[in-house]
Structure 1
Amino acid sequence: MNKTKILIIASFFSIYVIWGSTYLMNKIAVAVLDPMFIGAFRFTSAGILIMMIAKMTNKSLKITRKQLLNSTIAGFLFLVYGNGVFVWALKYVDSGFAALLASTQPLFVLFLMRLIDGKKMQGRSIIGVCLGIVGMYLLVSQKEVTTSENMILGIFMIFSCVLSWSYGSVFVSKADLPENFFVSTGFQMVIAGLMLFSLSFLVGETWKIPTEWGGKVQLSMVLLIVFGGIVAFTAFNFLLKNVSAEKVATSAYVNPVIALLLGWYFLNEKLSTQSIIASAVLLTGVYFINSRKPQSKLKVTTKPQKV
């Protein structure tokens, strides 16, 4: 097994399991801190650390004007809107349920690739998406889901975040970005962090220093910065350049299972039999999407990024 295959396997583990736990960490943090401030502090810190690591390992930090613009667009789609607004919605939606809503991402990605690139969906992908839709129906048809205050608004905003993240996945898979995926991640995070600090200031959020957060929030933020930020998001950018965007999007099927279990165990969020069945249906959808036959490359291609 060559180095690239090992990195792909490790990267899938990161976006499946580590990102699945970030819903819990964000839910804990947003109970004490304002949502835009959480993202601003998290991504700026992670981005600076990534840049420092890149510099120490002799990675080039040079970036062209076009790459800077593309990094700004990607940072906005993924982190400013896709993550910042999502964390805001966690004020009204349980972490596990929010993750399950995010499992619609592969459907958005396949639709966007069909719309933008004219890429046809194979039979297995269609079956996987259909199973995903069935799983989502099983989730949202539960009576308990729509009874919480502001739940409908939270659900709507989460879906808009999923659309933003999905378009970002398609955009990054073809965009001209810094050749090294680690450096590319660092630029996206620093830029997004600065944008989130600006938004946080404009909407009048309260900024608290770490000593005012409390032990659980401090631990959650450290885990979000190091693992959810540096490790998983770097793995995500690496995968977008080495496997198809719809395969990367299957993390949205696995993350909910992890998030449901963690939310149930640590936050006493309800885990119903119907939710368990829905999760099983979603995972079956993952199998069908990941087991499809390879397709020809897109008309627009990019050079593989260096590890």
Structure 2
Amino acid sequence: MTRRTTDVLLTATAPAIWGSTYIVTTELLPANYPLTVALLRALPAGLLLLLIVRQLPARAWWGRILVLGALNFSILWAMLFLAAYRLPGGVAATLTSLQPLFVVFLASLLLGVPVRALAVVAALVGIGGVALLVLTPQATLDALGIAAALAGAASMALGTVLSRRWQPPVSALTFTAWQLTAGGLLLLPLALWLEPPLPALTAANWIGFAWLGLIGAALTYIVWFRGVARLEPSAVAPLAFLSPVTAVILGWALLGQSLSVPQVAGILTVIASIWLSQHAQRGAPPPVLARPAAR
């Protein structure tokens, strides 16, 4: 197994685990606290990682870390939750799956990576696979929900590309700690202002928050940002298609939800799109980016 294959497989574990977010949120967490849940997923995990690394960003990096924290966490999670409330889950997931397609063109604009036709085809195939997985004929549309889903996809795409462009001279663990903390701090005033206090938490609530924070945020984003640093953005972004695959499989395995023939076809289509996206990058060296010196 090559080093690149190892990097791809390891990075793929992050979005696969993110697919558990839906079942954890619906089954273990208090309902109707989207911003508070996002805050408690990001900030405690970020502070815990900061205690481990014991390193703050140099002053020259503060602005960039705030931008990345907003894109990768604050804006992304707020928009995803808003879309989930305003749209059927299938519509929201399908629109959010446009993210890898956005990455292809943003990487060309910001990193100088050529737009490869096969990468575009792979992204379109993946979007079709997600639609087969989650979209139903009864789906209804809402303008604000559509805007939120597209904003979430664009935020994640831009965050992925800029995380590749702005690589501080620190470990993935430290980079993740900074971004989670920044994203959580940006969410804090919004959660306090827009949502009521949480009710008394049950044991199930604590387990849910622990999973989302320690595993669904801290661990997975260390793996994700490691992959962003080692692989081309157009190879990393399509791995996010694994999230709805995991969500559907967990719903079938744990909640007794049905798994239809179109959904099985969607899973196979998503896998094919990820293979195509990786094939499109073969022989193409990752862009060489200057790493600013620590200050």
Instruction: With the length of structure 1 as denominator, give the TM-score of the two structures.
Output: 0.82
| Residue 156 (structure 1) shift | 3.6
Is 2:171 the partner of 1:172?
A: no
Structure 1 residues 187 and 116: CA distance shift in structure 2, 3 A: closer
Is the deviation greater in 126-135 or in 75-84? 126-135
Is 2:36 the partner of 1:37?
A: yes
Alignment correspondent of 2:197: 207
| Residue 158 (structure 1) shift | 1.8
Is 2:35 the partner of 1:46?
A: no
What CA deviation, in whole Å up to 9, does each residue of 1:228-287 have, x standing for no partner? 111101111111111111111122221111011223444565644323322321221110
Alignment correspondent of 2:107: 113
**Equivalent residues in 2 for 1:14-163 (5 A)?**
14-28=13-27, 31-55=30-54, 61-93=55-87, 98-136=92-130, 138=132, 142-146=136-140, 153-163=144-154
What CA deviation, in whole Å up to 9, does each residue of 1:88-110 have, x standing for no partner? 33335566764454332211100
Is 2:191 the partner of 1:194?
A: no
**Matched letter for residue 291 of structure 1:** H
CA distance, structure 2, for counterparts of residue 18 and residue 164 of structure 1: 20
State the percentage of identical aligned residues: 23
**Matched letter for residue 246 of structure 1:** S
Is 2:283 the partner of 1:294?
A: yes
**Matched letter for residue 69 of structure 1:** G
| Residue 113 (structure 1) shift | 1.8
CA distance, structure 2, for counterparts of residue 94 and residue 178 of structure 1: 42
| Residue 70 (structure 1) shift | 0.9
Structure 1 residues 267 and 172: CA distance shift in structure 2, 3 A: same
CA distance, structure 2, for counterparts of residue 280 and residue 145 of structure 1: 23
**Equivalent residues in 2 for 1:213-292 (5 A)?**
213-267=201-255, 271-292=259-280
What CA deviation, in whole Å up to 9, does each residue of 1:184-208 have, x standing for no partner? 11111112111111111232x0122
What CA deviation, in whole Å up to 9, does each residue of 1:107-145 have, x standing for no partner? 110021233344323343233123224335546863132
Is the deviation greater in 281-290 or in 257-266? 257-266
| Residue 86 (structure 1) shift | 1.0
Alignment correspondent of 1:58: none
CA distance, structure 1, for counterparts of residue 267 and residue 166 of structure 2: 33
Is 2:15–2:242's contact at 8 Å kept on the other side of the alignment? yes
CA distance, structure 2, for counterparts of residue 67 and residue 90 of structure 1: 33
CA distance, structure 1, for counterparts of residue 278 and residue 115 of structure 2: 13
CA distance, structure 1, for counterparts of residue 138 and residue 29 of structure 2: 22
Is the deviation greater in 106-115 or in 41-50? 106-115
CA distance, structure 2, for counterparts of residue 178 and residue 18 of structure 1: 27
CA distance, structure 2, for counterparts of residue 186 and residue 96 of structure 1: 32
Instruction: With the length of structure 2 as denominator, give the TM-score of the two structures.
Output: 0.85
**Matched letter for residue 219 of structure 2:** V
**Matched letter for residue 165 of structure 1:** M
CA distance, structure 2, for counterparts of residue 236 and residue 302 of structure 1: 20
Is 2:100–2:237's contact at 8 Å kept on the other side of the alignment? yes
**Matched letter for residue 57 of structure 2:** I
**Matched letter for residue 198 of structure 2:** K
